[in-house]
A and B are shown apart, each in its own frame.
Chain A
Amino acid sequence: MDFGAHAGFILAAYGAAFIVLGALVLWVLLDHRAQRQAIAALEAQGITRRSARAAAEDTH
């Protein structure tokens, strides 16, 4: 595909879109992993929400 004399500007625009949107997707995925790991670490220390604790006590 020939973009003519302005190919550099067109490719740079699509490259910028790829980088900005890629960074956005990566940030959302990494943030999700970080929050899940933080919750898992806290629960491993026996720290759970009151609602979860109450539910667990109800089953005993």
Chain B
Amino acid sequence: MALLDLANPQRFLALVRVLVPALAALAAALLVIGFALGFRAPADYQQGETVRIMYVHVPSAWLALGIYTLMAIAALGTLVWRHPLADVAAKAAAPIGAAFCLLCLITGALWGRPMWGAYWVWDARLTSMLVLFLLYLGILALWRAIEEPGQAARAVAILTLVGFINVPIVKFSVDWWNTLHQPASVFRLDGPTIHPAILTPLLLTAAGFAALFLALQLAAMRNEILRRRVRTLRLLAAAEAR
């Protein structure tokens, strides 16, 4: 199926009806297996049992960055290619990305307290992640501030693209600055530095979180299409009442 075929809302909604339950089931299976393996994995030699927070914290961080990247691509889709589903995708993704970003910040604080002795420090990684969360909140506020969906989409697309500069800053903050947060230990040129006993459950929970995101994203896009249908019907009703 070509990307253009998905511009037809009926075809897209039919696809969503099939994909959402399948992705939700896949997410549940991956998360059950991932967490089961994660809780049976040995404790880290330095971080002890708290390493188990990683199975929630790291996938949340990856998704918070990945979803923002998806929103930036959707912003290009709105401004350059004018694909009808681009702004629907961007609007649906924003609250989901914000939720994963919030979860990353909460679990990071809960991991930081026993390891660093503080829930929060103003180091480059934590601060840039907080900026990402504030960007998500700004985008959500802008969606709500402009009533006409097309106008809102263009304004949000510009803000999203400007804010995208923060994504590489989050990723490379641990390399560019001297941070309390540890450097990358999975996506490295010389390969992961984590033992397979801990890495395997991490990758499984990350895949589970990704499948959950896709299920939520498609369901939220369906909701947005229905919301626009409601808006159109109300405008029709108002025009006929005149």
Q: When the two chains form their complex, are residues A6 and B96 in contact, meaning their CB atoms are under 8 A apart? A: no
Is B222 on the interface with A (CB-CB < 8 A)? yes
Output the nearest chain A residue to B234 by Cβ-Cβ distance.
Answer: A42
* CB <8 Å contact, B233 and A49: yes
Pair A42/B102 contact, Cβ less than 8 Å: no
Contact A1 B39 (CB under 8 A): yes
Interface of A is mostly: helix
Give the residue name and chain of the A residue nearest to B223 (CB): A31
B95, A49: Cβ atoms under 8 Å? Answer: no
A12 to B110, alpha carbons, bound, how many Å?
A: 7
How many chain B residues touch the partner (CB < 8 A)? 36
Known: A13-B106, A24-B216. A35 touches B223 (CB 8 A): yes
| A6 with B114, Cβ < 8 A, contacts A16-B107, A39-B229 known | yes
B57 contacts the other chain (CB 8 A) = yes
Interface size class of A (residues with CB under 8 A): 20 to 34
Is the Cβ of B50 less than 8 Å from the Cβ of A20? Answer: no
List B residues 82-119 near A (Cβ within 8 Å).
95-96, 99, 102-103, 106-107, 110-111, 113-114
Q: Can you add 8 more A-B contacts, CB < 8 Å, to A6-B49, A14-B56, A43-B233?
A: A7-B49, A16-B106, A20-B103, A20-B106, A25-B216, A28-B223, A32-B223, A49-B233
Chain A residues at the B interface, C-beta cutoff of 8 Å: 1, 3-7, 9-10, 12-14, 16-17, 20-21, 23-25, 27-29, 31-32, 35-36, 38-39, 42-43, 45, 47-50
